[in-house]
A = this chain, B = another copy of it.
Amino acid sequence: MSSDKQKAIVLLSGGLDSVTALAIAQSRGFECSTLSFDYGQRHRAELDAAQKIAKNMAVSAHKVLKIDLADIGGSALTDDNIAVPNTPVEGIPVTYVPARNTVFLSMALAWAEVLAANHIFIGVNAVDYSGYPDCRPEYIAAYEKMANLATKSAVEGQALRIETPLIDKTKAQIIQLGLELSVDYTQTVSCYQADAMGRACGECDSCRLRRQGFIDAGVLDQTLYQ
């Protein structure tokens, strides 16, 4: 790996979107390090998926940080007492994790500063998303502005960019883009309640969006369902 490559941190959940974001970052010539979070999520299988994908896609480093969001609560994804809904809901659903992207980006910002990486890739999406406020372009723009006032590197002149290559794409477009970049979607886990083997429920919001994406893209859905 050449040392004159620009460095990037890629937030890698192990789902379809984040893996596509990683493939895009690599295709743009970035030397990528990937970051996953063990935040007490139900769907632990995504952590295994992220680990495998990071290895197969030959990233520079892959880090899994433990953050106790379950201790804070307030989400179906981290609280066993709140069920993941199997039918679409109006407004922001219970799978919303309070301030999740803000917490994730902040840890990425810390690591970016240590690695001297000036780009953070996050696979957020404002089209086929679940109504989460922290996936919107105006949020990302405000985060980037804040980040550029937050760190020693920024103060010393190294501007930081939050890269959101998927933000204006439909799920079908993301899949098509990923396939052009040879992403192996069979390795990804999107389901909010995947079982230990990574098999999807096929019914939660995330499964529905993913399944429809494959249909709309005209691509065979090879996801393993329970």
Interface centre among A92, A101, A105, A151 (most CB of B within 10 A): A151
CB-nearest residue of chain B to A79: B114
Complex: how many Å from CA A133 to CA B157? 12
Residues of B contacting A63 in the complex (Cβ-Cβ under 8 angstroms): 71-72
CB-nearest residue of chain B to A113: B98
CB-based contact A146/B143 at 8 Å:
yes
Stretch with Cβ within 8 A of B (4 or more), from A21-29, A134-142, A216-224: A134-142
CB-based contact A114/B133 at 8 Å:
no
A35 to chain B, nearest CB (A): 10
CB-based contact A102/B147 at 8 Å:
yes
Residues of B contacting A67 in the complex (Cβ-Cβ under 8 angstroms): 65, 67-68, 107
CB-nearest residue of chain B to A104: B106
Complex: how many Å from CA A149 to CA B107? 19
A43 to chain B, nearest CB (A): 19
Q: Mark A146-166, 1 if CB is under 8 A from B, else 0.
A: 110111101110000000000
Residues of B contacting A149 in the complex (Cβ-Cβ under 8 angstroms): 133-134, 136, 138-139, 142
A residues bordering B, Cβ < 8 Å?
63, 65-69, 71-74, 92, 96-103, 105-107, 109-111, 113-114, 133-134, 136, 138-139, 142-143, 145-147, 149-152, 154-156
Q: List 27 A-B contacts (CB under 8 A).
A: A63-B71, A65-B71, A65-B72, A66-B66, A67-B68, A69-B110, A72-B111, A98-B110, A98-B114, A98-B152, A99-B109, A99-B113, A99-B151, A100-B110, A103-B107, A133-B150, A133-B151, A133-B152, A133-B154, A134-B150, A134-B151, A139-B149, A139-B150, A142-B145, A142-B149, A145-B145, A146-B146
